[in-house]
Amino acid sequence: MKFIHTADWHLGKLLKERSLTEDQEWLLENQFLPLIDEEKPDVILLSGDVYDRSYPPEEAVELFDRMTEEIVGKRKIPFLIISGNHDSAERLAVASRLLTHQGLYIFGPLERVKPVILSDTYGKVAFLPMPYADPARVRVMMNDLGIEGAESVRTFEAAQKALSDHLLSMLPEGGKGMRKIALAHVFAAGGTSSESERPLSIGGYDQIPDDLFAPYDYAALGHLHGPQKTKSDSERIQYSGSLMRYSFNEVYQKKGVIIGNMDGEGNISTSFHELTPLRQLRELKGTFEELMAPETDPSEDYLQITLTNESPVIDAMPKLRAKFPNCLGVEQDMGFKDDEGTRDLHLEQMSDEEILKRFVKQFRETELTEDEEKLALSIWEKVYAGEAEK
C-alpha cells in the first residue's frame, strides 16, 4: 500500500494580514498534484487543519473543492481527511456520507467516525480516522453512542485512547491480523511545536504518549507544523508538517509530504518529499544601506527584516517595499542585548553616572562616547539642580 501523508494545509491562512491562498493554490497545483502523478499512490491522507479557521473564506473553500475533484474525481485516488482543531468538524464534513461512495472520506463529527477498509495485493488495510477530539467532545460521543466510561474521560490521553478503542472495536475481531493505519490530529509527546499552531490546551495538558499508537502499523499525525518523528524515533509515527511556512518561527523548517510504503507484513518505509512554494518566508538582517545596495538582490519572498543601524531609520517600511514588495515586518536592532549579569550588582553603592555607564555598556556592548558622556552629565546636573530646589 503506497500512500502520501500530508497535513495542516491551513487554507485561507493570513500572515500579518496577508492572504496566502494564492500561494497555497500555486503550491498545490504546481507541486502537489504533479507529485501525485509521479508517485501514483494508492491513497492520500490529510491529517487535519484543512482550513485555518472554522469560517474559511470563499476562495479557500473553492480551492479545497478543486483539489478534491483533481484527486478523487479525475485521478480516482481515495482521499481520507480528518478535521483538526482549526476546522469546524460539522462544516468540513458536509455531504461526507454521500461522498464516501466516490472515494472521498471526510471525518469531522466524532459520532460518525468509522474505519475505512481498502485493499492492495496483500489484502485489506484498515484506516482509522481520529479527528481532533478534546475530552468533552469524546464524552458527548460516548454518551450518544451508549459507550460506558464516558465520565472517566478527563484528559486528552484518555480521550484519544477512548476514540482509538472505539474505532478498533468496529473492525472484525478488533482488527486482528489486519494492517492498520491511524490518522490523528494530536500533540504527541516528544514532538516540537511552532508558534503558528493554535495550542490545544495550556501547560502541556494536551500532550499524549505516542505509545497510544502501538496498535497501528503507521500513525499519520497532524497538528505540529515541523515534519518529525515522535520520541520513539520510529518511521511508524510521524508528522508530515504543514503545507507551507506559516510563521517566521518556521523559516528553517522544510515543508512537504511523506511518501510511505507498507508491505504485506505491515512494515513501513517512508521518505520526505520537500515542496517549494512560489514565495518563501525568510528573514533578512543588515543595515538599511546594505539591504538597499545593488549588491543585495531584490526579492518577492515574504520577509521579516531586522535593521542593524545604530540610529533610527525613518519610514523604513515603504522604502524597503520599493525593493522588497512582500516585506511583512521591520524591526530595528540597535545593538542592545538581554539583561544578563546585572542582578549581582550593588546598585545602591554606585553613582547615577556609574549606573548609566554600566547600563549602556551592558546593553549596547560599547562605552559611552565623549559627546554622550558630556550630554549625560549635563542632564544629571539639571536633575540634581531640580531636586535641590525641592
Residues 270 and 289 in one domain: no
* 353-374 residue pLDDT tens: 778 777 777 767 778 888 888 8
* 189-217 residue pLDDT tens: 777 777 666 666 544 557 899 899 999 99
- Each as own residue / partner, the long-range contacts of residues 254-260 (CB below 8 Å, 24 or more positions apart, any chain) are 254/227, 255/227, 256/227, 257/4, 257/5, 257/6, 257/32, 257/35, 258/4, 258/5, 258/6, 258/220, 258/227, 259/2, 259/3, 259/4, 259/5, 259/39, 259/41, 260/2, 260/3, 260/4, 260/5, 260/218
Residue 364: burial class (beta carbons within 10 Å; 0-12, 13-18, 19+): middle
DSSP 122-168: TEEEEEEEE----HHHHHHHHHHHT-TTGGG--SHHHHHHHHHHHHH
Residues 257 and 376 in one domain: no
Evaluate if residue 282 carries a pLDDT over 80: yes
| Under 8 Å between Cβ of 255 and 245 | yes
* 74-100 residue pLDDT tens: 999 999 999 999 999 999 999 889 999
Q: What CATH number does the domain containing 30 carry?
A: 3.60.21.10
Torsion of CA 337, 343, 345, 347, to 10 degrees: 90
pLDDT of residue 203: 46
In a domain, 102, yes or no: yes
Evaluate if residue 121 carries a pLDDT over 60: yes
Residues 261 and 179 in one domain: yes
pLDDT of residue 349: 67
| Model confidence band, residue 336 (pLDDT cutoffs 50, 70, 90) | low
Cell of 207: 500532550
Evaluate if residue 233 carries a pLDDT over 90: no
pLDDT of residue 3: 98
> 185 vs 196, 273, 279, CA distance in Å?
15, 21, 27
Give the H or E element holding residue 43.
Answer: strand 43-47
Domain extent for 302: 281-332
Alpha carbon of residue 223 to chain centroid: 6
Residues 234 and 308 in one domain: no
Domain boundary among 274, 295, 323: 274
Residue 34: burial class (beta carbons within 10 Å; 0-12, 13-18, 19+): exposed
Collapsing DSSP to helix, strand or coil, 46 comes out as strand
As a whole number of angstroms, the distance between CA 236 and CA 216 comes to 8
Collapsing DSSP to helix, strand or coil, 169 comes out as helix
Residues 219 and 364 in one domain: no
Indicate left, alpha or beta for 233 from its phi (over 0: left) and psi (-120 to 50: alpha): left
- Each as own residue / partner, the long-range contacts of residues 314-322 (CB below 8 Å, 24 or more positions apart, any chain) are 316/288, 319/288, 319/292, 320/288, 320/291, 320/292
Residues 289 and 268 in one domain: no
What percent of the chain clears pLDDT 90, i.e. is strictly above it?
74
Residues 291 and 313 in one domain: yes
Q: Which residues contact 248 (CB under 8 A, 6 or more apart)?
A: 281, 283, 304, 329
Domain boundary among 247, 274, 301: 274
Mean pLDDT of 239-265: 95
Domain boundary among 256, 274, 292: 274
As a whole number of angstroms, the distance between CA 104 and CA 210 comes to 28
Nearest to 2 by CA among 268, 261, 264: 261
Residue linked to cell 484518555: 158
- Please, what is the average pLDDT of the chain? 90
As a whole number of angstroms, the distance between CA 244 and CA 72 comes to 23
pLDDT of residue 300: 96
Name the β-bridge partners of 106. 81
Mean pLDDT of 270-274: 97
Q: How many CB atoms are closer than 10 A to CB 107?
A: 25
Name the β-bridge partners of 262. 268
Residues 142 and 260 in one domain: yes
Residue linked to cell 503558528: 196
Mean pLDDT of 139-158: 94
Residues 142 and 263 in one domain: yes
- Give pTM, 2 decimals: 0.84
| Under 8 Å between Cβ of 262 and 125 | yes
Residues 170 and 298 in one domain: no
Residues 220 and 296 in one domain: no
User: How many domains does one find in the chain?
Assistant: 3
As a whole number of angstroms, the distance between CA 64 and CA 49 comes to 12
